[in-house]
Structure 1
Amino acid sequence: MSPQAIRFLTPRRLLMASVVVAIITIALKTLAWYITDSVGLLSDAMESLVNLASAVFGLVMVTIAARPADEDHPYGHHKAEYFSSGFEGILIIVAALGIVWAAGHRLFDPQPIEQVGWGLALSVGSSALNGLLAWVMFGAAREHRSIALEADAKHLVTDVWTSAGVVVGITLVHFTGWLWLDPIVAIGVALNILREGFHLMWRSSQGLMDEAVEPEIMDTVRETLAVFEHRRGETEIVRFDHITTRKAGQRRFLDMHMHMPASWTLGRAAAVRGSVEQALMSAVPGLRATIQLLPSDVEAHFDDTKDLI
């Protein structure tokens, strides 16, 4: 994705687009359900309602996450995106349970499906729209490191698979006459999106509990620090330890100790620390590094029993 596209396709703009697309797909899928009376297409339309609610909530949370740090939130508002992901997971689960309820009734009272051709055409058209938007959002989510965009994109992909399952089910009903296939497909769709809902809630909980940064980012951090580590014979001149990391929405935070000779002046030590911080933030966009300076012969201890009480 080009730099120009990245700057234009911000999380806020994409979530606004998701709201518009959700409204369009709701209209198309509701019309498809109305003309066919298929409970499978009804389940598809219900999931699109969840798409709309989650996109609106995601838009609000991304707007909050973009606020600068203030006196009450000195580390910023980046974690607001995790609330979006968790809320979307809850809505997906609620939609899945609603689909099971509707399909259960239809399973014991099968109804014929009308005007299959028009219903399938409307469903496929709305799914193509969702699939295109999801593809764009996945790329932007990687570039912006936005869990809110990723969650919405995953939900849209789930919607596409839902529609695909419904289309297959209705086609089979049309050619076989087995009316019970329609609610069975709807229940299968519900179980699939139920799994996705729990996955999103898990991702959200891990972010709120200060999960460590991704392994590939830690590899980049270690490679960057290796450039600054020096030895003179058997003695380490500059070394780093007690490296801890956490994620907060689009931000990555790193805390560590940098050991150096006690004979160095404060000005020299601070200059090296500044170079390390700049190199880390250049290697990992969005990273905020906090480095504590210590003499080479001083060790910090974090496992004191008094700190664990």
Structure 2
Amino acid sequence: MNKQNQNTKNNFSFQRNVAIIGVLLFVGKLVAWRLTNSDAIFSDAMESIVNIIAAFLGLYSLYLASKPRDEDHPYGHGKVEFITSGIEGALVIFAGIIIIGQAIVSLLNKNILDRIDYGIFIVAITAVVNYVLGYLSFKKGKTENSLVLKSSGKHLMADTVTTLGVVASLLVVYFTKIYWIDSLVAILFGLYIIFVGYKIVRKSLSGIMDEANPDMLRKLSSFLNEHRKPTWIDLHNTKIQQHGSHLHLDAHLTLPWYFELREAHKEMEELVKLIAKNSDRNIEFNFHMDDCKSFSCEICQVENCSARQHQFIKKITWDEKNISQVQKHSLKN
């Protein structure tokens, strides 16, 4: 089993454990709700249902993402992570709306809470477990470059904030007997949950739409500037797509026009291997070789070039903007 398959298997096992623990935490919150009659705890329990659904969606997406590419999916199945992440974000927003709605109902009905101490103890335990699980999920997601694990981790940690808000409101109610405080805190954290859900949805949409990632392009251009060869006259029309934990890199490399095909291909392979060797992710490359033009002489650093038509004037430092521009580099653009 290769490293990529092993990582996928580990991610799947981890997400399965998240789903199982999510079910147990949901049951614990339901018990706390039945004991206390707290609408805030009930809202938190309903938010846990979203955790469970999201966890199983994550399992399914990790299963699909692990499948090799085929005739119908030449780039693989990795983009399913963006779809399930978007669904999870939408569910988070929906949970926030439920929390706010239930809190308003609680305010209107003036509910009286019972056995608050038991509720505080049970809900506090679920908060600790949720946070630890969320932190581990987010950390593993960053290590494995898994959007599913990262969004799941953010969701669980956001749920922890909500649960702590419930605990705080229960503590205040326990000592003051001012029951509407419980509902007010629930409304505030419901708004926070909606904001977190929006960010998850926004991130998933950017992946589905292949939105440009300036940070990736910035890191790539900075790295290549340090290892750039004079014969690599310019790098343009660079695009990076994310497919699950994989990346797809398109770019045009401008080389001296008089290079033979074998020599030009060797230069391109050298650049590809340089990027692949220094990346922590699997990358599929699609490089196109362009020949230099007369205006390229002004930025070309090849010394003693017998085909030079203009004097060298200035070196163009690669950055996230010029390596992504469509045209070859020149002093005019």
* Common fold by TM > 0.5: yes
| 2:252 is the alignment partner of 1:253 | no
Of 147-156 and 93-102, the range deviating more from structure 2: 93-102
* 5+ residue gaps, structure 1: 231-236, 304-309
User: Residue 114 of structure 2 aligns with which residue?
Assistant: 114
Q: 2:84 corresponds to which residue?
A: 84
SS in 2 for 1:111: coil
Within the candidate set 260, 269, 274, 1:265 is matched to 260
* 1:128 partnered with 2:128: yes
Question: What's the CA shift string for 1:219-249, capped at 9, x where partnerless?
Answer: 244423652421xxxxxx3223212223333
Contact kept in structure 1, 2:138 and 2:151, CA below 8 Å: no
TM-score, normalization: structure 2?
Answer: 0.82
Aligned to 2:93: 93
User: Of 266, 272, 275, which aligns to 1:277?
Assistant: 272
Are 2:38 and 1:38 equivalent residues in the alignment?
yes
* Percentage of matched positions with identical amino acids: 26
In structure 2, how many angstroms separate the alpha carbons of the residues matched to 1:125 and 1:214? 41
Please say if residues 86 and 205 of structure 1, whose CA atoms lie closer than 8 Å, have aligned partners that are also in contact.
Answer: yes
Please state if 1:16 is matched with 2:10.
Answer: no
CA distance in 1, matches of 2:214, 2:245: 13
Match of 2:284 in 1: 288
The runs of at least 4 consecutive aligned structure 1 residues that moved more than 4 Å come to 6-9
CA separation of 1:259 and 1:302: change in aligned 2, threshold 3 A? closer
Alpha-carbon displacement from aligned partner over 1:24-68 (angstroms, at most 9, x marks no partner): 100111101110011111111111111000111111112111211
| 3-state SS, counterpart of residue 10 of structure 1 | helix
CA contact (8 A) 1:221 1:283 kept: no
Matches within 5 A, 1:133-212: 133-212=133-212
Deviations 1:247-297 (A, max 9, x none): 333222222222222332211221221121111112222222221112222
Aligned pairs for 1:292-307 (under 5 A) are 292-297=288-293
Paired residues, number = 293
RMSD of aligned alpha carbons:
2.3
- After superposition, what is the alpha-carbon deviation per residue over 1:164-215, rounded to whole angstroms, capped at 9, x for unaligned? 1000101111111111112112212211111111111111111111022351
User: Cα offset for 1:78?
Assistant: 1.1
Matched residue of 2:210: which SS? Answer: coil
For residues 1-38 of structure 1, what are the alpha-carbon distances to aligned partners after superposition, in whole Å with 9 as ceiling and x for unaligned? xx9xx949832122111101111100111101110011
Cα contact 1:260–1:296 (8 A) shared by 2: yes
AA in 1 matched with 2:285: A
Bigger mean CA offset, 81-90 vs 109-118: 109-118
Aligned mates of 1:174, 1:10 — CA distance in 2: 43
> Comparing 130-139 with 207-216, which one deviates more in the overlay?
207-216
Which amino acid counterpart does residue 294 of structure 1 have in structure 2? D
The yes-or-no answer on 1:57 pairing with 2:52 is no
Rounded to whole Å, the distance in 2 between the matches of 1:57 and 1:68 is 19
How far apart, in 2, do the equivalents of 1:189 and 1:120 lie? 17
Contact 2:75 2:243 in 1 (8 A): no
Q: Give the gaps of 5 or more residues in structure 2.
A: 296-324, 328-333
1:117 and 1:240, CA in 2 relative to 1: closer, same or farther beyond 3 A? same
Counterpart in 1 of 2:316?
none
TM-score by length of 1: 0.88
Q: Which residue of 1 aligns with 2:235?
A: 241
Amino acid at match of 2:91: L
Map 1:206-221; keep pairs closer than 5 Å: 206-213=206-213, 215=215, 218-221=218-221
